[in-house]
Structure 1
Amino acid sequence: MGIKSFQGARKQQAHAVDETLLKVSDYMSTDLITFTPDQTIESVMQSLIHNKISGGPVVNEHNELVGIISEGDCIKQISESRYYNMPMQDNTIENHMVKNVETIDGNMNIFDAANKFLQAKRRRFPIVENGKLVGQISQKDILKAAMQLKGQNWK
C-alpha cells in the first residue's frame, strides 16, 4: 500500500524571483567610509564611533584595497598598548589592519553571498573591480534585500 499525500498541487506564482537578477552590486553600499594605512588607531576609533560602523576598508591613494580595519583590530591594539605600557596616539593602522582581504564579486547573487557570509563568518565583504574598491556588502545589506523580497516566491 502506497503512501498518499494530502497536499494538493501547488499553484506556480507568476512573480517568481529570478535569482540571477538579484546581484550583490544592486544591494552593496557605494558611499563608503574608508581609511588609509597611515591613519592613527585613535582617528579610526573616533570615525567608527562617530559613524556608528564596526569597521571599513583601507585603501591607498589610488583607491586600491589594501586592508580592512575593524573594532576588533582596534580593541586588540588598546589591549596591547596597555599591556606593554605604550601610547597609541601615533600608532598607525597599517600594522593592525587585516591585509589578506577576502572580496566578493558584484555579480554574485545575494543568496550565494548569504552563504559566503555564513561560511566565512565575516560582517562585510568589499567589492573590487579592475583593482579599485567600488563598494561593500554587509550582512545588514543582505537582510535588507531579503526583506524587499519578502512575500515573493524564492526558488
Structure 2
Amino acid sequence: MELVNFLSSISWIAFLCFGFGFLLVIVEMFHPGFGFPGISGGILLIIGVILTATSVMEVLILLAVIISVLGIALTLVLKSATKGRLSKILILHETQKKEAGYTGTEDLKYFIDQEGITITILRPAGIAEFNGIKLDVVSEGEFISKDKKVKIIKVEGRRIVVRQIE
C-alpha cells in the first residue's frame, strides 16, 4: 500500500525527469563518449530524486531503483554490442592485409645490406647515417665507436640491427 502511495505522490515533472533521464543515459550507452546525453540524463535523474524523495530512506530506494534499471539496460547494451546491431556499428570487420598494400609500420627492409657511418656511439643503440638518412640503429650487442663503418644486417619492424665492417 505504501508503494502505491509513493508512486501516486510523484509529480508529473519528476516523472518526466526520470523518463527523459533514463532515455538519455541509455542513448549514451549506445553511443559512448560521455557527452551531452549522459551528463544531461544524470542531471535529470538527480533532479527527479530531489523532487520526489522526502526522506533519506526514499533517496536510497530511488538510487537503488535507478542503479538497477541502468544495470539492466547496460547488460542489454553489452549483449547487443557482442551479438546484435550495435556490434555492426562499433566493431571493424574489414582487415587491412599486407597484400593489399597496408602496413602497420614503415617497411624498412630495403635498407638491408646498406653501409653507413655511425654518428653516435652504439652502446648498443645509437644513430647511424645511410645515404644521407639518419636512423636509430642497434648493434649486435657490441660497443661501436663514433664514425665507424657499419652495415645493416637485419630489420625487424622499426628495429634496425647493424654490424661494424672493417
Taking structure 1 as the reference length, the TM-score comes to 0.27
Taking structure 2 as the reference length, the TM-score comes to 0.26
Specify which structure has the bigger relative contact order, considering alpha-carbon pairs within 8 angstroms and separated by 6 or more residues: 1
- Between structure 1 and structure 2, the one with the greater Rg is 2
